[in-house]
Structure 1
Amino acid sequence: MASRNVAIGLMFLSQVAIGILGNISLLYHLVLSCNKYTLRSTDVILRHLIIANALVILSKGIPQTIATFGIKYFFNDLGCNLLSYIQRVGRSVSIAITCLLSIYQIITINPMNSCWKDLKGKAPKYIGFSISLCWILYMV
């Protein structure tokens, strides 16, 4: 194996490790902070966004790292299809939840005399349902 492939493989491995450690530390911080006060809607959205991003990092980074180190045929057809499915679900849910977070922030920061004033009180009630719908929709 060429030293260039080893260097690229180590870079992929470090990116995956740092990405997963970052997501786990953010998730751990959100879990600890929910014990101190009531859970905000943005915290729920961020938890699911962290999980979706971790799925993308794991399903895309690990196979690239394995391929760079020169290991061929590590996954069979079922494993490849499962990794592809997990990556697509994670990426789609990540995009959808990011859009949901943007919409929630727009509703929250608008003044009370805007056309969004009716949604300001209703939005936190529907966050959990919207996130569940995103996960179910993209898993199907």
Structure 2
Amino acid sequence: MNKKRKISSYIDIRNTVFFEITVGITANTVLLLFHIVTFLLKHRLKPLDVTIAQLALVHWMLLVTMGFIATDTFGFENWGRDLMCKSVIYVNRLTRALSISTTCLLSVFQAITLSPRNSCLEKFKHKSSHHYPCCLIFLWVFNMLLNIRFLISIGATPNVTSHSLVFVTESCSQRPISYLFRYIFLSLVNVQDISFIGLMALSSGYMVSLLCGHKRQLQHLHSTNLSPKISPGQRATQTILLLTSFFMLMYFLDCVTFSSLVILWNNDPINLCVQMLVGNGYATICPFVLMSTEKRMIEWLISRWKRQ
């Protein structure tokens, strides 16, 4: 209780956390609605559009559950119910896992799309479009099963003090599970994260090399006075490269702040708030990066503004 009052006293940090969550929810809602309207009008979406829509949905769910967690952390609400704790924590962990896996899939798919005809990835070009929906469904099912442990171990914090409980939020705690299951789940999560980060790094490096090679070719074909236009595919690739680079940066910072929260500062309130800000950074910035390069959305917003 003392910790809750201490955290709630940091008004500026508290307001910054809620401002970040509100901005992120609003931006992801706009991005998701735009792709829903596009689907209703055209009745067909490209794999890239489907992935962006899924990212917007995942980040929207992540920030909404983070809003519930923040209200409990800062002392505005006490859940006190097992079902509420299980649902919020489960969805929050699930969407965090889906965020990294969907971003990785987006990066790998764009690398395959950008690959030239004589590359080793050429044979995956036609297959990737057909199997892409199955990959998205697999990511949902896999992560739902992987994070099901939170539905079992998370519950409302009892009134009786127990040293065996691990506090997740002020109202929710994690009950102890056997060492074997804990080791298995942690190993799977770590292997998953390392694999996705590694795939992102490899696909990003591959796309950078292709873009550099394409730029050198254009410099030979065009005079120095002319500035060649960037194709839509190259623009999409640059956007995905920016997203993956930003994600890896925020993931690294999140690991650093989480480690310092657990080891160095011993749940210091300021470090806890910083960890919340860093953990939500990618979900908040991602829709703005995607919207800034979406010509259809910009043109639609400009036309709506002119009508008013």
Tell me what 2:266 maps to.
Answer: none
2:98 is paired with a residue whose SS is: helix
Question: In the aligned structure 2, how far is the partner of 1:128 from the partner of 1:108?
Answer: 16
* Structure 2 residue corresponding to 1:43, chosen from 35, 41, 49: 49
Deviation at 1:33, TM superposition (A): 2.6
| 109 and 91 in structure 1: CA distance in 2 versus 1, 3 angstrom threshold | same
Aligned pairs (5 A) from 1:21-100? 21-34=26-39, 35-36=41-42, 38-68=44-74, 70-71=75-76, 73-100=78-105
Q: Which residue of 1 aligns with 2:122?
A: 117
The Cα RMSD (Å) is: 2.1
Q: Distance in 2 between matches of 1:104 and 1:37?
A: 22
**2:80 & 2:117 partners in 1: Cα distance?**
55
How many residue pairs were aligned? 139
Which runs of structure 1 show a deviation greater than 3 angstroms over 4 or more consecutive aligned residues? 1-9
TM-score, structure 2 as length reference? 0.42
Distance 1:72 1:33, change over 3 A: closer
For residues 96 and 58 of structure 1, the distance between their equivalents in structure 2, rounded to whole angstroms, comes to 19
Q: Percent identity?
A: 28
Please, which moves more after superposition, 58-67 or 91-100? Answer: 58-67
| 1:51-73 superposed Cα distances (whole Å, 9 cap, x missing partner) | 111121111233213432x2353
Q: How far apart are the structure 2 equivalents of 1:112 and 1:104?
A: 15
Larger radius of gyration: 2
In 1, Cα distance between equivalents of 2:11 and 2:78: 18
> Which has more helix, going by share of residues?
1
Shift of 1:13: 2.3
The 1-side partners of 2:140 and 2:95 are apart by 9
Q: TM-score, normalised by structure 1?
A: 0.87
Task: Name stretches of at least 5 consecutive residues in structure 2 with no aligned partner.
Answer: 146-308
**Counterparts of 1:29 and 1:53, CA distance in 2:** 15
Q: Distance in 1 between matches of 2:61 and 2:43?
A: 28
Greater relative contact order: 1 or 2 (C-alpha under 8 angstroms, separation 6 or more)? 1
